[in-house]
A and B are shown apart, each in its own frame.
Chain A
Amino acid sequence: MNESIYKQHILEHAQHPHNKAEMEHPTVSLPAKNASCGDSYIVYLDIEDGAIKEATFSGVGCAISQAAASMLTDKLSNLSLEDARAITKEDIFELLGIELSINRQKCALLVWNGFQQALEQYENA
């Protein structure tokens, strides 16, 4: 790792995350945890008419997982369920705009994983 992953925009999102709030009446909500590094989040979705009205998250984690959660929830709001499901790992890496080692990729994808599972659960319900 030659270049720092702690770029200004990452730190900005990590320390002042967007959409970090518990949702009182979510359509669907799930925990997203990484037991080995101590990240523990809950993701919330408010879904209406086949689209995400609002996506939020709560919990604790490292700067990379926080920043990814902040950026992803920005992107998810007002997205159709289909478009939300179509967001890939690579999209998250692109969103973050930093080179991540294999161990830190898990941090970046933790909340994305949580939202994908929440969407799946909603579709199967």
Chain B
Amino acid sequence: MKPQDIRKDFPQYKADATMAYLDTAATSLTPKPVLEMVNEYYQVYRASVHRGTYESAERATEAYENARASIAAFIGANTDEVVFTAGATASANMLVYALEHSIDWKPGDEIVTSVMEHHAMLLPLQQLAKRKKLVLKYAQLTKDFALDVEDLTELITDRTKIVSVMVASNVTGRINEISSTSLRRRSDVEGPILIRDATAAVGHMPIDVHELDADFIFFSGHKMCGPTGVGILYGKREWLERLEPGCVGGGMVEDVHEKHAEWTEVPGKFEAGTQNIAGVLGLAAATKYLDALGPAAVHVHAQELVTYAEKELAAIDGVTVLAAPAEHNVGIVSFTVEGVHSHDVAGIAGKNSVAVRAGHHCALPLHKALGIESTTRASFYIYNTMSDVDALVASVKEAKELFKV
């Protein structure tokens, strides 16, 4: 991977050539093909999809459905198993609402998840548990930030209806290498519903939905070169057919009567209202862009940067690295600096054009489990170089000097 060449595809480097953008885990930069695709839709064939009978509407519909096909191919899914949403959070909320109204819940039924989850999945599950009087159980972590599989499988009982575990942590970078068989240990025929939040992983490492073998997988487009405000909810076809839609309105019906309505086929039944068409097309362009680079190569590049960053940061007195070793890491390194609050580390880095994130990264239970208030997080992607790591390390040293620690 040649990040210096890749940078030529990202106009934001023209605006600020000196920046060390290490905040892809919050949102990535946007490459030209994505910007061009969004522009092309708005400038050439903007029209509503699935409705008009004129040329631009036909073209928009075709582009929209082709986008679904290429995004599905990118994750190894069947085209009709891919639902467009407004992002990972929208996917998770919609999914949980749909499950709430499609399954027979009994008080005391269980949801098993982990302390490392992002709030996007955790909070909808927590609210569901409250409303339906379910028991929400948390699997803990091992010393190297991995999910404690033994702990998790022990938590799963015959009353467990959902198991939800993220594919990779957005804080420690840890990839949960765990088979779907371990996650569905239950002995009865159906087993728990398996949900995987793949937001930190898709576009950063090879992801194949058949390998993950989950019932539902979701992610955002904007952490993988796509536009903001668009994401995916993947569901196994039989599940998508069984689920009640989480959002109803125009465009997702076969027929509407005064007192009831009939839903259209999957995946359309989950796409009420006018969708983020430009976003969808942009996301498809992002998957094509990443496909050309190769997700495996993207991952290797990030892991090289993780290796270097972990080594350089750990060598600084007072710095504690809270990240998985590179071979199990998606491309994220969080750390603390003794005597300097994460927000001050990030503030000083920001002044030096080093973009990192400070705080909880929407993973409060994880920080509580680790016994820390907050962390500074650097996340690595295709456009990052070893010099970016050097700039981060220099900023950490500057912060220590400034705070005299």
Using CB atoms and an 8 Å cutoff, list the residues of chain A in contact with chain B.
1, 4-6, 11, 15, 35-40, 60-64, 66, 104, 107
Contacts and interface: CB of A to CB of B under 8 A. Distances in A.
Contact of A6 (B348, B359, B373): B348
Interface string B324-354: 0000000000000000011110011011000
A4 B395 CA distance: 13
7 contacts: A37-B359, A38-B341, A39-B343, A60-B373, A62-B341, A62-B347, A63-B343
B402 A38 contact: no
A6 B399 CA distance: 10
B373 A38 contact: yes
A5 B351 CA distance: 9
A40 B344 contact: no
A6, A61, A66: residue with the most chain B Cβ atoms closer than 10 Å: A6
A35 B7 CA distance: 34
Nearest to A39: B343
A10 to B, nearest CB: 10
A37 B342 CA distance: 8
B384 interface: no
Contacts of A60: 341, 373
A62 B343 contact: yes
B360 interface: yes
B403 A38 contact: no
Nearest to B350: A1
Contacts of B343: 37-39, 61-64, 107
Given A38-B358, A39-B341, A63-B403, 18 more contacts: A4-B351, A6-B344, A6-B347, A6-B348, A11-B403, A36-B360, A38-B343, A38-B359, A38-B360, A38-B373, A40-B373, A62-B342, A62-B344, A63-B341, A63-B344, A64-B344, A64-B347, A66-B341
Given A37-B374, A38-B342, A38-B373, A104 B360 contact: no
A35 B364 contact: yes
Which applies to chain B's interface (DSSP): helix, strand, loop or mixed?
helix
Contact of A11 (B342, B373, B402): B402
A7 to B, nearest CB: 10
Contacts of B403: 11, 15, 63
Contacts of B341: 38-39, 60-63, 66
A15 B344 CA distance: 12
Range for the number of chain B residues in contact with chain A: 10 to 19
Contacts of B348: 6
A15 B351 CA distance: 21
B137 interface: no
Most buried by A among B350, B364, B374: B374
A37 B343 CA distance: 7
A122 B364 CA distance: 31
A107 B359 CA distance: 12
Contacts of A15: 403-404
Contacts of A1: 350-351
Contacts of B350: 1
B367 interface: yes
A69 to B, nearest CB: 13
Nearest to A1: B351
Contacts of B342: 37-38, 62
Q: 10 shortest A-B CB distances, which residue pairs?
A: A38-B374, A62-B343, A62-B341, A37-B359, A38-B373, A63-B344, A37-B343, A62-B344, A38-B359, A36-B359
A42 to B, nearest CB: 14
Nearest to B402: A6
A79 B374 CA distance: 34
Interface in B263-321: none
B18 to A, nearest CB: 14
B41 to A, nearest CB: 32
A11 to B, nearest CB: 7
Interface string B361-389: 00010010000011000000000000000
Contacts of A37: 342-343, 358-360, 374
B402 A104 contact: no
Contacts of A35: 360, 364
A20 to B, nearest CB: 14
A15 B340 CA distance: 10
